[in-house]
């Protein structure tokens, strides 16, 4: 469950963006940047 929490939060945010009409399908790039964040 702890491993899916960040992806779930980003997916919920993506749903809000899509429902607001601000079409942004960059979920893959968000996940990629989030994966690199621990390296900093």
- Tens-place pLDDT, residues 1-13: 667 777 777 777 7
Task: Label residue 15 by pLDDT band (50, 70, 90).
Answer: confident
11-15: long-range pairs with CB below 8 Å, 24+: none
Pairwise CA distance, residues 38 & 26, whole Å: 20
Which of residues 26 and 7 earns the better pLDDT score? 7
């Amino acid at each position: 469950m702890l491993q899916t929490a960040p992806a779930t939060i980003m997916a919920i945010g993506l749903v809000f963006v899509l429902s607001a009409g601000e079409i942004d399908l960059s979920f893959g790039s968000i996940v990629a940047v989030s994966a690199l964040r621990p390296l900093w």
